[in-house]
Structure formats: structure tokens, C-alpha cells
């Protein structure tokens, strides 16, 4: 039997205090690195429990138009992987009580070097990474490199994943499992009331905490996940708030998700 990872232990402890946790997502360098720091500060102050830091990439295949646009804007403004590591390290030191995770794509990892990416991630103080375009059959080098650095490789389930495949994926995952709420990309509205059977299948496949994302937009969506998931993941909607109301509106938006 696997021993609990440090990230899993953190989630379990936080769940004793809260009926559901919040994991938020930002694209580093959007609309600027200075703004990214302000947004993370506001998220932590508003009580989020985990944060995904996305390294901008030109072809973010799992992301819908909102996050795609943020990736493109960050790259156009000169965002680099090196700068993302610098800012991530600053944020990890400033907010050591909140686990920070990378979210990006394998091209970024491969270009930096898989072992170097893992070592640099540990040195920066992050806790793991979500790399959605790496299937478990092809991820051995990434997973082993991360685990050797004490990092958590977060893997994904989807509604189309068979129970047998879920168990295979779970054998490589650590920390938590990210359950994609529906087919398609991030950002569109999701019927979270219809996820019970799917998430029951997920629970049978793993003892790890379950995070649910793709379409969490408001407090009603978060409330619908109470008792069927451990973590609600909010991504595109935060970027919409930044675009429409500015960085200063992020804190009140995040606080309102627990209303």
C-alpha cells in the first residue's frame, strides 16, 4: 500500500476543515508578471488551497479560447520559461503555506530537459506538475524524474476513461487526480449535477483526492461538487474577471466562490 504523499496529506488535513477545497489557475505573464504576482497574492488572501501556475505555451491543446488567449498574450509580451521559474520561486517562498503546481505541456519540459525541469521545479519550491499531454504509457521518464525530486506528478481522468485505464493511470499518480468534468477544452459551461456516476467511478479507481475542473464558474458550481469531490478547480473564469474587471476584482471573485 502506498504511503500518503505530502500533498495528499495536506489535502486531507485541509478537508477536515472545509467541505471542499479550491484550486485556482493563472497563466504566468498574463497580463504581466507583475499582475500575476498580484493575482496570486489576492488568491491566497481570499483563501484558496492550491494554485496551478501555467507556463505559457503556443499550442495549449487542453485549453479553451480564454486561456489560449492568455497564453498568446503572455508570449507576445515576452514571457519566457526562465522568467516563469523566477516568479514561481518568488511566489513559492512568499506563500509557502499553499502548494503551487506547474501546469504546462510536454514541449516545455522536453526543451528544458526532463531531469532538469524536475530538479529546477524542486529548487523553485513547487510541489508538482500537471502535464496533460503526457499519457501514462509514455511518461515514465517524467514521472520517475519528478518522484526522485520529491515532486507529485498529477495525472488526469476523463469521462471517457475506462475503469481499467483509470486504475493504470492511478498507479502512476501522486498527490491528487485531476478529473476532467467533460469532453472538450476548458472554459465552457458544465453540468456538475450530472457528474455523480463518473466521480463514483473515479473514487473506485484511486484513493487519492479528486480535483474537478473544466467549467467551474461560480459558487453554484462549487457547491454542486461538495460531497462528490475534494477540490474544485477554477481557471478560465478568473481570467475573464481579470479581462473584464481588472486584477483588483480577483479577490472578491474568489471569496464569492465559497458563498
Q: Which three cell numbers stand for residue 75?
A: 508570449
Residue 230 is among the residues annotated as catalytic for this protein: no
Catalytic member of 49, 52, 120, 230: 52
Among the listed residues 13, 41, 59, 63, the single catalytic one is 63
User: What whole-number distance in Å separates Cα of residue 253 and Cα of residue 257?
Assistant: 7
63 is annotated as an active-site residue? yes
Residues 169/64/75/125 CA torsion (nearest 10 deg):
-40
Q: Which residues belong to the active site?
A: 52, 63
Amino acid at each position: 500500500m502506498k504511503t500518503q504523499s505530502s500533498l495528499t496529506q495536506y489535502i486531507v488535513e485541509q478537508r477536515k476543515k472545509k467541505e471542499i477545497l479550491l484550486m485556482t489557475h493563472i497563466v504566468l505573464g498574463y497580463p504581466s508578471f507583475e499582475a500575476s504576482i498580484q493575482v496570486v497574492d489576492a488568491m491566497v488572501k481570499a483563501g484558496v488551497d492550491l494554485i496551478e501556475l501555467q507556463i505559457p505555451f503556443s499550442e495549449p491543446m487542453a485549453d479553451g479560447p480564454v486561456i489560449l488567449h492568455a497564453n498568446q498574450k503572455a508570449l507576445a509580451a515576452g514571457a519566457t520559461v526562465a522568467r516563469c521559474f523566477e516568479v514561481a520561486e518568488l511566489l513559492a517562498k512568499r506563500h509557502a503555506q499553499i502548494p503551487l503546481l506547474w501546469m504546462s505541456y510536454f514541449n516545455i519540459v522536453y526543451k528544458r530537459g526532463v531531469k532538469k525541469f524536475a530538479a529546477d521545479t524542486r529548487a523553485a519550491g513547487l510541489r508538482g506538475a500537471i502535464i496533460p499531454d503526457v499519457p501514462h504509457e509514455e511518461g515514465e521518464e517524467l514521472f520517475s524524474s519528478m518522484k526522485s525530486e520529491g515532486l507529485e506528478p498529477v495525472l488526469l481522468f476523463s469521462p471517457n476513461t475506462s475503469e481499467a485505464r483509470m486504475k493504470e493511470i492511478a498507479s502512476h499518480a501522486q498527490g491528487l487526480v485531476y478529473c476532467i468534468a467533460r469532453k472538450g477544452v476548458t472554459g465552457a459551461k458544465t453540468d456538475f449535477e450530472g457528474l455523480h456516476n463518473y466521480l463514483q467511478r473515479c473514487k473506485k479507481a484511486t484513493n487519492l483526492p479528486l480535483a474537478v475542473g473544466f467549467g467551474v464558474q461560480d459558487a453554484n458550481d462549487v457547491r454542486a461538487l461538495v460531497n462528490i469531490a475534494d477540490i474544485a478547480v477554477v481557471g478560465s473564469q478568473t481570467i475573464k474577471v481579470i479581462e473584464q474587471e481588472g486584477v483588483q476584482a480577483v479577490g472578491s471573485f474568489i471569496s464569492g466562490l465559497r458563498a
